[in-house]
Copies of this chain bind each other. A is one copy, B any other.
Amino acid sequence: MKTSTQERKQYLEPAQGCVCFNLRKSARAITQLYEEALRPTGLRATQFSLLVATRLHGVATINRLAKSLVMDRTTLTRNLKPLENQGFLRTTPGSEDRREREVTLTIAGQDILSKALPLWKQVQQQVTKALGQTRVDRLLKDLSATIEVIEGS
């Protein structure tokens, strides 16, 4: 394939400047680091976040959890499966509205979360130290702004 400088140049921006690509790329990279840290627990990054979110909700439904995670409802359903299978989460039909499913942490779920928490703290501190607190705070704020922009679209 012959390629002129001109032809190639128009694809530098979609590579280096693409917000989507660079966010996905960074997410892949950081996920590696966090999953390595969480490996002693056997939890994946998403699974840790799901347990934390469930813990914070107390009693959560699929829709509410999905909304708070900015995750498709059907994705969440699938992601809950391995955690249910391992006995970390329990889902029961809604007591008032039987269409709903109530998701709660089990004792085993609380235990694994307690084990995971210090490992998370360690890797989070490692990242914070390497990037600097200022940059981490700025990054988190910019990420929040990005999500708000998208949800407003």
Contact = CB atoms under 8 A, between A and B. Distances in A.
A113 B104 CA distance: 46
A26 B71 CA distance: 10
Given A70-B29, A117-B14, A138-B142, A23 B23 contact: yes
B120 A18 contact: yes
**A11, A28, A30, A70, most chain B CB atoms within 10 A:** A30
Contacts of A105: 1
Copies of this subunit:
2
B22 A140 contact: yes
Given A24-B46, A52-B11, A55-B8, A19 B140 contact: yes
A69 B25 CA distance: 7
Interface of A: 1, 3, 8, 10-34, 45-46, 48-49, 52-53, 55-56, 58, 69-71, 104-105, 110, 113, 117, 120, 124, 126-128, 130-131, 135-136, 138-140, 142-147, 149-153
